[in-house]
Amino acid sequence: MSRTLTFCCNEAVVWVKDAEQILVVDTQSQRHRALRDREAVIWELLAVGYPHEKLVQMLSLVFSLVPAEAERVLAEAVHRWCEEGLVCREVDGG
Amino acid sequence: MEPIDHHSHTDIFILPILSRFLLYAPLHGLAALVDLTAARQLRKRLASRDWDLTGPLGEVFRSLAEEREPAPLPRQGSFVPSFLGLLPTRGCNLGCRYCGFQTGTDGERVMSLDLARDAVTWYMDAVEQAGVQQAEVHFFGGEPFCAEEVLDLAVHLARRRATEIGCTLAFEVATNGVFDEARARWAADNLDTVVLSLDGPPDIQNRHRPYRGGQPSFEEVARTARVLSEGTSDLCIRACVTDETVERIPELAAWFCEQFRPGSICFEPLQPSPESEAAGLRPPDAWDFASQFIRAAPVLESHGVRPVHAAADIQTKRVTFCPVGRDAAIVSPDSTISACYLLQRDWEAKGLDLRLGRMEGASARLDSDAIASVRGLNVYNKPVCARCFCKYHCAGGCHVNHGPRGPQGGYDRLCIQTRIIAVRNVLAAMEQDDLVRAWVSQREVAEAAIGQPSDLLVDLEASA
Percent of chain B clearing pLDDT 70 (strictly above):
94
Strand spans (E) along B148-263: 168-175, 193-197, 234-241
Contacts of A44 in chain B (CB under 8 A): 152, 156, 186, 189-190
**Phi, psi torsion values for B360, nearest 5 degrees:** -130, 100
Assign domain B72-429 to its CATH superfamily. Answer: Aldolase class I (3.20.20.70)
Distance from the B156 Cα atom to the nearest Cα atom in chain A, whole angstroms:
6
Taking an 8 Å cut-off on Cβ atoms, the answer to whether B186 and A63 are in contact is no
Is the Cβ of A51 closer than 8 Å to some Cβ of chain B? no
Binned average pLDDT, 10 residues per bin, chain B of 464 residues: 50 95 94 93 80 76 81 93 96 92 66 97 97 97 95 97 96 97 94 98 97 96 97 96 98 98 97 92 96 97 96 94 92 96 90 96 95 94 92 91 69 92 97 95 92 92 58
B185 CB neighbours in chain A (<8 A) are 47
Q: How high is the pLDDT of residue B162?
A: 96
**What pairs with residue B211 in β-bridges?**
B94
Higher pLDDT, A20 or B292: B292
Query: What is the CB neighbour count within 10 angstroms for residue B192?
Result: 15
Cα B394 to chain centroid distance, Å, stands at 8
Rounded to whole angstroms, how far apart are CA atoms B107 and B453? 42
Residue B464 has, within 13 A of its CA and on its CB side, a CA count of 19
Cα Rg of chain A, angstroms: 13
Nearest to B156 among A17, A41, A47 (CB): A41
Distances (CA, A) of A35 to A55, B10, B68, B311: 17, 57, 50, 43
The CATH class given to the A10-86 domain equals mainly alpha
pLDDT exceeds 80 at position A43 = yes
Q: How far apart are CA B374 and CA A57, in angstroms?
A: 37
Residue-wise over B228-264: b if at least 16 C-beta within 10 A, else e?
Answer: bbebebbbbbbbbbbeebbebbbbbbeebbeebbbbb
**Does the beta-carbon distance from B182 to A49 stay under 8 Å?**
yes
Model pTM?
0.92
Report the SS3 class of residue B393.
helix
Residue B121: per-residue pLDDT: 97
Cβ neighbours, 10 Å, residue B429: 11
CA A62 to chain B, closest CA, distance in angstroms equals: 5
| ipTM for the predicted complex | 0.88
Q: Furthest-apart CA pair in chain B: how many Å? A: 71
| Interface contact A48-B157, CB threshold 8 A | no
**What is the rounded distance in angstroms from the CA atom of residue B293 to the CA atom of residue B268?**
10
> In the predicted model, what is the mean pLDDT of chain A?
86
Q: Please indicate whether, in this complex, the C-beta atoms of B113 and A45 are within 8 angstroms of each other.
A: no
Å from B187 to nearest chain A CA? 11
Which among B114, B117, B186 has the least Cβ separation from residue A48?
B186
C-alpha–C-alpha distance, residues B67 and B292, integer Å: 38
Helix extents (H) in B331-398: 344-349, 368-375, 391-394
* Termini Cα distance of chain B: 30
Q: Is B249 helix (H, G, I), strand (E, B) or coil?
A: helix
Q: B156 at the A interface (CB within 8 A)? A: yes
What value does the mean pLDDT take over residues A49-75?
95
CB contact under 8 A, A62 and B149: no
CA B146 remoteness from chain centre: 25
Domain boundaries, chain A: 10-86
CB-based contact A62 B153, cutoff 8 Å: yes
Which tens digits make up the pLDDT trace of B52-81? Answer: 777 777 888 878 877 788 999 999 999 999
Angle, helix A37-47 to helix B148-165, in steps of 10 degrees:
170
Q: Which residues of A touch B145 (CB under 8 A)?
A: none
